[in-house]
Amino acid sequence: MTDFDRTRTFFHLPDGLVYLDGNSLGPLPVAVPKRLERMLRSQWGEMAIGGWNRAGWIDAPRRVGDRIGRLIGAEPGHVVAGETLSIKVFQALAAALHLRPDRCVILSDRGNFPSDLYMADGLARLTERHEIRVVDPEDVEAAIGPDVAVLLLTEVDYRTGRLHDMARLTRAAHAAGALTVWDLAHSAGALPVDVVAAGADFAVGCTYKYLNGGPGAPAFVYVAPRHVDRVEPSLAGWLGHAAPFRFEARYRPGAGIDRMRVGTPPILQLAALDAALDCWDDVDMADVRRASLSLQKTFITEVEASCPELSLASPRESARRGSQVSFRHPEGYAIMQALIARGVVGDFRAPDLLRFGFAPLYIGDADVRRAAQVLAEVMHGRLWDHDAYRAVAAVT
């Protein structure tokens, strides 16, 4: 079993703060400032441009990608980090569509993150031959027809925490001749993921949530071995070239996952992410999952017993949830602001969702019970009914 009392020392959190918003932005790992200081002074400061080779900057996207790959069950050498999640969604989706040239439908669901749908829409308008079909989450499997080229889904719904069955839906997509692109933004570092066992074709994700890479931390992309040497990158960046420093006029894709690289990697952000990933070296994701579900159960039980005005928006069955719990209330925004003002940090999603993320690496049972107690105090005293909270909500 993982010693989460030990991992909590890996993070900087102000005394008395209960941080239940790691599903939006993870807290600062204590190792990050020292790593960045060392990188700035001994690498950039002393080596200058020599750091690309002497300090291994040029290989950082693959090196960090492999560390992430271990957490999502990927084969070594098949994950690369860099750019933003939206860019990686575009890359993976474009590559998947290229592998299914005789089909025109991108299938997704209404629980997908809007940015993923924006990227899909932009790509469809660019090709002028693809279309997006969006259905309710429970209707996805039935909607996978012979015209579907790619199934584009976020495994965990960012609003409610509802969890898709990646393996089952991937099997259904493959049976219909379609490929899959899975967004693991709310999965990586939150629950066990095995892209190999699930048969995923492509996967993408961000690293600033449960992986604690910091604001703007680079995203990642996974390509299954059976596809990686056939992928034709639509974003043909110079570092995805087979020989980037020959500066050839025409693009030749790099070998394997390197072809999914685009531009100059964000070395400072990769250094911060690399340091943040240290805390996962001795962590078993099965232990994380068990601890997370236990914390969620405690929170749901406590909140429903003391705050009947709130209604559970997340699936009640634990196996159908990711690592977050959401409740509904018409005054959700003001309630969340009142909570934050009292040291319990969650967040709000329109129109009425209060979201709470559960990351056992730095959240324990006492934190969860404290959060439920403060929420009860806010609700019983109508402490959210305050002009300051309502004024902010009115313009947000």
Q: Are 153 and 297 within one domain?
A: no
pLDDT at 391 over 60: no
Residue 8 lies in a domain: yes
CA nearest neighbour of 149 among 122, 123, 180:
180
Q: Are 135 and 81 within one domain?
A: yes
User: Which tens digits make up the pLDDT trace of 138-156?
Assistant: 999 999 999 999 999 999 9
Residue 311 lies in a domain: yes
Both tokens assigned to 133: 């079909």
Q: Are 259 and 303 within one domain?
A: no
Cα–Cα distance, 155 to 183 (Å, whole number): 6
pLDDT at 394 over 80: no
* Whether 80 contacts 61, CB under 8 Å: yes
pLDDT at 387 over 90: no
Burial class from Cβ neighbours inside 10 Å (0-12, 13-18, 19+) for residue 141 reads middle
pLDDT at 253: 95
Examine the residue annotation and report whether 389 is marked as an active-site residue of this protein: no
Q: Are 292 and 275 within one domain?
A: no
pLDDT at 3: 74
> Can you give the length of the chain in residues?
396
pLDDT at 395: 43
pLDDT at 168 over 80: yes
Can you tell me whether residue 203 is helix, strand or coil? strand
Residue 366: count other Cβ atoms within 10 Å of its Cβ.
9
Q: Are 60 and 173 within one domain?
A: yes
pLDDT at 334: 95
Examine the residue annotation and report whether 297 is marked as an active-site residue of this protein: no
Examine the residue annotation and report whether 208 is marked as an active-site residue of this protein: yes
User: Which tens digits make up the pLDDT trace of 338-368?
Assistant: 999 999 999 999 999 999 999 999 999 999 9
Q: Are 127 and 77 within one domain?
A: yes
Q: Are 71 and 9 within one domain?
A: no
Which of 21, 157, 183, 258 is labelled catalytic? 183
pLDDT at 125: 96
Rounded mean pLDDT, 81-104: 97
pLDDT at 50 over 50: yes
Which of 62, 88, 209, 259 is labelled catalytic? 209
Residue 13 lies in a domain: yes
Q: Are 199 and 222 within one domain?
A: yes
pLDDT at 390: 62
Examine the residue annotation and report whether 183 is marked as an active-site residue of this protein: yes
pLDDT at 393: 53
High-pLDDT (> 90) share of the chain, %: 94
Residue 377 lies in a domain: yes
- Domain boundary (280, 295, 320) is at 280
pLDDT at 293 over 90: yes
pLDDT at 7: 87
Q: Are 167 and 62 within one domain?
A: yes
- Domain boundary (239, 264, 280) is at 280
User: Which tens digits make up the pLDDT trace of 194-210?
Assistant: 999 999 999 999 999 99
Which of 10, 11, 90, 113 is labelled catalytic? 113
Q: What mean pLDDT value characterizes the chain?
A: 95
Number of domains in the chain: 2
CA nearest neighbour of 324 among 111, 143, 133, 157:
157
CATH number, position 155: 3.40.640.10
Cα–Cα distance, 205 to 186 (Å, whole number): 8
Beta bridge mates, 245: none
Range of the domain at 205: 56-280
Angle between helices 365-380 and 332-341 (to 10 degrees): 120
Which of 355, 356, 362, 367 is labelled catalytic? 355
- Domain boundary (225, 251, 280) is at 280
Examine the residue annotation and report whether 385 is marked as an active-site residue of this protein: no
